[in-house]
Structure formats: C-alpha cells, structure tokens
Amino acid sequence: MKLFARSALRARVWPALVLLPLAIYWQVRGFEFVNFDDVDYVYGNATVLSGLGVDGLRWAFTTFHAGNWHPLVWLSLMLDAQVWGAWAGGYHLTNVALHVANGLLLFVLLQRATGAWWRSVMVAALFAVHPLHVESVAWVAARKDLLSTLFGLLALLGYVGYVRRKRVAWYGFALCAYACSLMSKQMLVTLPFLLLLLDYWPLGRIRAGAWRRLLVEKIPFLALAVVSSVVLLLAQSRGGSLSDLEQHSLGLRCANSVECCSRSERLPPRL
C-alpha cells in the first residue's frame, strides 16, 4: 500500500513540473515584441518572417546577422513565423514550452546521474520558477539561451547514458547535442570541463591512472568549443561588437574596469 501511494505521488511530479512554470509564464501570451533586438530577430527581419525554406536554411547557416552565428535560433524563429505569423504571443509561448522542457530535462538528468529522486524534483522546481530565467523566457530575442540550454542538457544526458551503459551511440548523441547547443549560443563552451566535474561526482570515474582516458574523451567536445568560439569572434567582429586596441586602448579598458568596480561598491544595498 505504501509503495502504491509513493508511486502515485511520484506520478504527480511530472504534471507539477509542467504546471508550475506555466502558472508563472502563461501571461506572456499577451506580450508584444520589444524594440530591443526583436526587430533584428523577428518583426523587422523579412527572411525570418518568410518562414522555413531553402533560402532561409542557407541564410541561417551562413549569416552573421545581429553579430552572432546561431543557425538553430533562426530556424526556430522561422518555424514560429510559419505557425504564428506575426503574432508575438506565439513566439512567447514557444519560449515557455522550451523552458518547461528544460525543467523536465534537468529533472531527468539529475535523477539519472545521482539517483536522488526528491532532491532532483526540488532542484528542477527551483529552476522552473527562479527569476533568473525571466529574461530568457519573456524576451523573444533571448530564445538562444533556451535552445542552448535544451541541447546542453541533452548532451549531458547523453554523456551520463554513455558512462552508465558503455555504448558509443550515447557518446555520439552527446557530441551531436553539444554541437546543436553551440549552434544556438556559444554559452556552454565550458561543457568539456563540466563533464570532468561529472566524472568526479556523481559518476565517480576519477581513479588513479584514469585521467588520460577521461581527458581524451573530452577532446572532441573541446574541439567543438574552440571552433565555435572562433566563429563567434568572427561574427562579433564583423557585427561591430568588438573593438581593437586602437579604438579603446588597454589603459582605457583597465581604467574603465576600475571605475565600474568602484561604482558598484558605492551602490546602496538592494532591499
């Protein structure tokens, strides 16, 4: 009887992890686009608004528009345009769906990696409601954060599957998912080092003499991170987001850093 009650309680976790973020973010369906990057990403971008197509696919993988290279973001927005047209609420709802999926993936990842069911539930619930994610969910142009996180979590799940089941297919899945994460945003370039942390805990793979094999496993991930970083630097440079030392000297940059730090120290505490 206790086992049945426990199973019934656990079965309610899944809808709870879905309804919790929906209760917070359902209101965004009535939000509009904002005049801050949304014009470049959606409502002022004729290529995106034209929907999915061969020309759009080619453009997504070759453009440095908005000073970034994230083809999967463009493709997801094109798909939204195909479905929702110019209705901003639809794009916002897609962001909400991605955030809900990320919360569920985080729960599955933690549960499989640690075996701690209820602690995994609590962490996933906190992830779902934490205000740190408001910008990513409620701002259409921040779709790149959500997509990068989605594929990053899939990469971690694939890696855990590879370690637990000793199948190369899981390693390949993790590598492909990581490539998709970097093609959404180069946010997780540190993932190869995160995998080493997972090897230590909770996977428990750190043993004497095992370092070389563990490091070799991370080389393909590190190579992807390096290549994507170079592509991002090129995109940022062509987009005018980077300035050289002739425009802003090293001394000026150091002085600016000191000034920013001193100003932050003088700010009154937040209530």
Structure confidence by residue, pLDDT tens digits, 141-179: 999 999 999 999 999 999 999 999 989 999 999 999 999
Task: For residue 15, say if its preceding peptide bond is cis, omega within 30 degrees of 0.
Answer: no
Gap between the Cα atoms of 122 and 134, Å rounded: 19
Task: For residue 202, say if its preceding peptide bond is cis, omega within 30 degrees of 0.
Answer: yes
Gap between the Cα atoms of 140 and 42, Å rounded: 8
- Read off the tokens for 94: 């897609």
- What is the reported pLDDT for 242? 67
- What is the reported pLDDT for 5? 55
- What is the reported pLDDT for 132? 95
Q: DSSP characters for 16-74?
A: HHHHHHHHHHGGGGG----TTTHIIIIIT-HHHHT-S-HHHHHHHHH--GGG---HHHH
Confidence class of residue 35 from pLDDT cuts 50, 70 and 90?
very high
Q: Which residues contact 42 (CB under 8 A, 6 or more apart)?
A: 33, 48, 49, 77, 80, 81, 88, 91, 140, 141
- The total of structural domains in the chain comes to 1
Name which of 22, 215, 200, 158 is nearest 103 in CA terms: 22
Name which of 117, 126, 128 is nearest 7 in CA terms: 117
Is 52 part of any domain? yes
- What is the reported pLDDT for 249? 76
Give the range among 20-29, 190-199, 252-261 with minimum mean pLDDT.
252-261
- What is the reported pLDDT for 250? 75
pLDDT tens string 109-133: 999 999 999 999 999 999 999 999 9
Helix-helix angle 211-238:191-200, to 10 degrees: 160
* pLDDT averaged over every residue in the chain: 91
- What is the reported pLDDT for 6? 66
Is 238 part of any domain? yes
Helix-helix angle 211-238:168-182, to 10 degrees: 20
Is 119 part of any domain? yes
Is 269 part of any domain? no
pLDDT tens string 71-123: 999 999 999 999 999 999 999 999 999 999 999 999 999 999 999 999 999 99
Q: What is the DSSP letter of 35?
A: T
Gap between the Cα atoms of 136 and 168, Å rounded: 34
Is 12 part of any domain? yes
Percentage of the chain lying above the pLDDT 90 cut? 79
- Residue type present at position 202: P
* Residue 267 pLDDT greater than 60, yes or no: no
Gap between the Cα atoms of 144 and 19, Å rounded: 23
Is 6 part of any domain? yes
Is 171 part of any domain? yes
Is 259 part of any domain? no
- Our measurement of the distance from residue 2's CA atom to the centroid of its chain's CA atoms, rounded to an integer in Å, reads 39
- Residue 15 is part of which domain span? 2-246
* Residue 2 pLDDT greater than 60, yes or no: no
Kindly state the helix (H) or strand (E) to which residue 26 belongs, with its residue range.
Answer: none
Instruction: Please count the other Cβ atoms lying within 10 Å of the Cβ belonging to residue 198.
Output: 18
Q: Which residue has the tokens 């890696």?
A: 159
- Read off the tokens for 47: 């290529």
